[in-house]
Structure 1
């Protein structure tokens, strides 16, 4: 399953790696099949390749950091807005399909849980850092009637924070840490843990409120 590894995509796109990264960001946030594409790991690795052009024994095309910092948020915001529009237009029937290899109803239920648990605004931002949820929450927000303009505001905030923070982290570590390729997977794990912390705190606060 090489397509789950960011190195596969970055090598596949070659000299057009920056464009490829933006396309995947758009697809992962705007199209339902995008849930199977790499997200955090791709952004982090792309950020590393703005500093170095080699990961392990493999050489890659160096990527422009300004292109990622500008294009990344635009792709993420545009993709999420498309997802919202799809959800608003097609509604619940969009999600009422049997499980398949690339679609699980539990993923939709998980996204709906975040939306209802944290409220629309927080959910749109938090979902950016949760794999799979960031794909399904956008059309779900449209389906549940979240206003497009209000969605755009929080979508913009979440899109900028998600993409640029991972690009900059990868860029900084690529400059500072020798043999950075050894730390790609641990780095992504740390990012995911940090992303989950505010969710756990919010859930604990909610339990206290119920008590």
Structure 2
């Protein structure tokens, strides 16, 4: 067994191939991570989009642990459904936590795990986009962790929240898992390219793509703040 390193905690392939006593538990770890990243404020650092994309690539191995199906499509569809259900449960828990905790989180001091700025950024994002923020947030790291919590804090209508919760979770899971699986199938069958040999590049690409909107938003907000400061000084 390879020596464990802290860096493995942000490597989705580590979770997918995780074994205990010779038995693979990847599918259960994937489902828990999806729940944690979409419902527990301490789970914002966990891999989300890259984990789902890689789950699509490793879908056959993952589903063999639960219910092996000969049909390739049904195999991937069941995996996406399980992931979507975990995302729904995660967001539901986040909503409940936000509703119960109220303004408590705004009074918690920053620490290694919790940063208050993430809460404020998610609140602004949520207020700007309303219910659609639940859908948009699924595809944005960090924001997807805090969006359901904010929805609970502002007491968003539970029926409206659950509608967006279900739609966003299935959209997120099916898009990334099916994309990962069928891109792997296409490249392997037509060009002999196995994406499993390029996992590091895939992770890097997905991290850049998913974090770029957040980075641009931060740069834009800082630029706007600087302009305001210059006007005040003038």
Q: Same fold (TM over 0.5)?
A: yes
Residue 192 of structure 1 is aligned with which of 210, 214, 217?
Answer: 210
TM-score scaled by structure 1?
A: 0.81
Residue 2 of structure 1 is aligned with which of 1, 8, 29?
Answer: 8
* Residues 35-184 of structure 1 aligned to structure 2 (within 5 Å): 35-50=44-59, 64-119=75-130, 121-177=131-187, 178-181=193-196, 182=198, 183-184=201-202
Against the structure 1 CA distance between its residues 190 and 93, is the aligned structure 2 distance closer, same or farther, given a 3 Å change threshold? Answer: closer
Find the structure with the greater CA-based Rg. Answer: 2
TM-score scaled by structure 2?
A: 0.74
Contact 1:31/1:135, CA 8 A, preserved across alignment: yes
Gaps of 5+ in 2: 1-6, 66-74, 188-192, 221-234
Compare relative contact order (CA 8 Å, sep 6+) and give the higher one, 1 or 2: 1
How big is the shift at 1:166?
A: 0.5
Contact 2:81/2:170, CA 8 A, preserved across alignment: no
The count of residues paired between Structure 1 and Structure 2 equals 191
**Distance in 1 (alpha carbons) for counterparts of 2:54 and 2:106:** 32
Against the structure 1 CA distance between its residues 186 and 90, is the aligned structure 2 distance closer, same or farther, given a 3 Å change threshold? Answer: closer
Contact 1:15/1:61, CA 8 A, preserved across alignment: no
The Cα RMSD (Å) is 2.5
Against the structure 1 CA distance between its residues 84 and 61, is the aligned structure 2 distance closer, same or farther, given a 3 Å change threshold? Answer: closer
1:34 aligns with 2:38: no
Partner of 1:206: none
Contact 1:111/1:140, CA 8 A, preserved across alignment: yes
Partner of 1:20: 29
Contact 2:63/2:79, CA 8 A, preserved across alignment: no
